[in-house]
Amino acid sequence: MSMTTETLKANLKEPAIFCCRRRKGTVISAADLEDPSLFDDMAEAGLLTLSGDALTVEEALGATLLADCEALTPILPSMVEGARKTEKEKAERPAPAEAGEPGGAPSAKGASGMMHIEIKSLEGLSLDLPWPGLFPPAAVPVNAPAAVPAVAPAAVQGEDKTLRTLTKKYFQAADVVIGEKTSFENGVLTLDRGLLEKAVQADPLVKEIKMDVIKPAGRHIYTDTIMDVCPIAAKVSGTLGEGVTHVMEGAVFMLTGVDEDGTQVHEFGSSEGYLDEKMAFGNPGCADGNDIIIRVETIIQRHTGMERRGPLAAHKCEDVIIQAARDVLKTANQAPLRDEICRDVKKYGRPRVVLVKEIMGQGAMHDNILCPNEPCGVTGGQKNVDLGNVPVMLSPNEVLDGGIHALTCIGPSTKEMTRHYFREPLVQALAADEELNLLGVVFVGSPQVNDEKTFVSERLGAWMEALGAEGAIVTTEGFGNNHIDFISHIGQIGKRGIPVVGVSFCAYQGQLVVGNQYADAMIELNKDQKGFENEVAGCSEICSKDALRAVQMLKNKMMGVEIKPAPKKWSQQVVDGNNLLLGL
C-alpha cells in the first residue's frame, strides 16, 4: 500500500521500499513507496527483507529508477540516480537508536531555571545560561496538528498558590479481631460480629455475608474472586480533598462475591483461588506485604452478578462494616504514625497539564462511584453511568482523599480498585512535579454504545480546550472495547494541538483495537512475564515507575523531542531500557 502525503511526512527517515513493480525511468514519489507501518508484518510473513544500505524515503524522493524493479524491494543507491544523498554521506550518518517504547528520548531538564551546555572540543568548559522558561512558546510537539495549534499562554512568573490542603494522619493497626463491640484501642481494631446482620440488611440482593481476618502468614487460603480492596479512611474535618482524614495503616478490607449458584461475580476474568497467588501484593491497589486483610464475603441473588445492581449491593453491604471502622478511627486516641500533607497548588509559569482517567461506564457491572461522603465510601456518591459518563473533574487532593470507589469488574490484573485511586501514582507524580502545573483529574466513563462514546469523548476535548491545557496524560483500565474511547480521547485532545500521552495495557497483543495519528506516545503497563492479561488482582495496574515514565514522556512530547515508534509487540527490554534512562 503506497503512502499518503500525511504518511510520507511522518516517515521521511524510514527505509524506501517499492510498494509495486516499477519501470525504468520512474521518478520516485510517495505513490511508489510502501507504508513503513506495514514493514514489521511483511518482514514477519517473509515478504520483505530490510536492508541497512537502503536509501531513506527523503533520500529516494525525486530520484530516477535506472532499471525495472519488483515490489517490496529496498531502494539502494546503485538503483537510482539523483538521490538526495550519496552512499558515502549515508555511511557517515550516525547509527539510528534502537526502536523502543516511546519515551526513550533525551529527558527534558530545566527545573533549576538554567540551561547547561558542555562543548566537548574545549575540555573543561561548561556554561550555565539563564533559561527563562522550561517550555518556550515556540516549542512544537512532534506530529502536532497544524489545524488548531495550542495557544500557549504568557508565562507569568509568581509564587505558587496553595488552593487547599489535606492532612492525612496515619494510625497503625497492630491487630484486627472480631468481637462484641467495634473499637480501635491500643492499635487493635475490633469489629463487632453483629455488624454482619446490619450489613446484610443494606440491600436485599445480598443473601449472605461473612467476615474473617487474614493475617500475612495465613494468606494461602482459598478466596472467591477479589471484587475490591478498600482502605479504611475517615473524614475528621473538612470535605473530600481538604481538612483532616484519618487513615488506618496495616489493615484493609477485601470484598469477594459469588451468586447463589456459586458463580463468581466477576466472571469476566476471575481471581478466585489461593489468595497468596491471586493478588499483586504491594502494588498501589492491593494489600501490602504486611497488611492484615479483613475479608468480606458476599453471596448475592442468582443471575445478578453481571448486572449493576448485584455487585453494587455487595459494595453497599461492605460499606456498612467499613463505616463502623471509620467511626472509631475518627476518635483514635493514639499518636499517629505520621502525617502526610497533600496540597492542590496552582503553579504559575508552568505548563498546564491534565490527567484523564477513563473509567468503565458500560452498565452491567461496569461503573464507579464519585465523591462519596466518606473517603473511599459508597454512601452519598454519584455513579458515573447515571451521570451519562460525561467528564467529571476532581482535584488531585479529592482523588487522593478517596473521591473514587471502584465498582469495576473487568479483568483482575488491570482493574483499578478503590485503594488504587487512594494512592494513585500518576496523580502523586504529576502533583509533585515542580515543572508542571496539574490542573486536575478528569474522570470520563466508557459507555457501551458508540454514539455515546463519541459524545463523551468530544465533551472531553471541549473541556481540554476550555481549560487551556498544554499537555495531557490519558489512562484506561481493562482492554478491548474501552480502547475505542481511549483512542478517541487521545484524538480529541491531539487534534486541538495539545500534546498527549496514553497509558494502557496492551502487552502481547501489542496494539490497540483502533488507533489514530495522535497516539504516538504510549506507556505499556504489562507486568505479566508472558505479556498476557492474567488473573492476579492488580498485577498490571499503574505503578510508580509507569507513572514517572509517563510524566517524562509527556515532557518530552511537549518539548518537541522525537518519540521513536515502539515495537509492535510488548518487550520488557524496552520498558527496562526506558526505566534505566530515568534512573528507575
Q: What is the pLDDT of residues 102-144, one digit of tens each?
A: 444 444 444 444 444 444 444 444 444 444 444 433 333 333 3
Q: What is the pLDDT of residues 22-56, one digit of tens each?
A: 888 888 888 888 877 767 666 765 667 777 788 88
Is the predicted pLDDT of residue 387 greater than 50, yes or no?
A: yes
Average pLDDT of 393-410?
A: 94
Q: Give whole-number Cα distances, 402 to 23, 138, 374, 384, 422, in Å.
A: 67, 39, 8, 15, 5
Q: Is the pTM of this model over 0.75?
A: yes
Q: What is the pLDDT of residues 86-106, one digit of tens each?
A: 555 555 554 444 444 544 444
Find the range with the poorest average confidence among 268-277, 347-356, 455-464, 469-478.
268-277
Amino acid at 264: Q
Paired strand residues for 243: 166
What are the phi and psi torsion angles at 272 (to 5°)? -65, 150
pLDDT of residue 29: 86
Residues of the chain with pLDDT > 90, as a percent, come to 61
Q: How far apart are CA 152 and CA 147, in angstroms?
A: 15
Average pLDDT of 301-324?
A: 95
User: 19, 286, 409, 543: which is the annotated catalytic residue?
Assistant: 409
Q: What is the largest CA-CA distance in the chain?
A: 93
pLDDT of residue 482: 86
Is the predicted pLDDT of residue 462 greater than 70, yes or no?
A: yes
Supply the DSSP symbol for 153: P
> Which of residues 393 and 333 earns the better pLDDT score?
393
409 catalytic? Reply is: yes
Average pLDDT of 261-269?
A: 83
Is the predicted pLDDT of residue 148 greater than 90, yes or no?
A: no
Half-sphere exposure of 458 (CA within 13 A, CB side): 6
pLDDT of residue 12: 85
* Dihedral Cα 517, 509, 534, 355, nearest 10 deg: -10
Nearest residue to 294 via CA among 319, 316, 331? 319
Q: What is the pLDDT of residues 164-194, one digit of tens each?
A: 999 999 999 999 999 999 999 999 999 999 9
Is the predicted pLDDT of residue 572 greater than 50, yes or no?
A: yes
DSSP labels, 482-523: HHHHHHHHHHHHHTTT--EEEEE--GGG-S-SS--TT---EE
Average pLDDT of 73-85?
A: 86
Q: What is the pLDDT of residues 206-233, one digit of tens each?
A: 999 999 999 999 999 999 999 999 999 9
Is the predicted pLDDT of residue 318 greater than 60, yes or no?
A: yes
Residues of the chain with pLDDT > 70, as a percent, come to 83
What are the phi and psi torsion angles at 134 (to 5°)? -65, -35
Q: What is the pLDDT of residues 481-526, one digit of tens each?
A: 888 999 999 999 999 999 999 999 987 766 666 778 899 999 999 9
pLDDT of residue 105: 40
Is the predicted pLDDT of residue 282 greater than 50, yes or no?
A: yes
Q: How far apart are CA 156 and CA 363, in angstroms?
A: 45
Position 4 confidence tier, pLDDT thresholds 50, 70, 90: low
Q: What is the pLDDT of residues 527-539, one digit of tens each?
A: 998 888 889 999 9
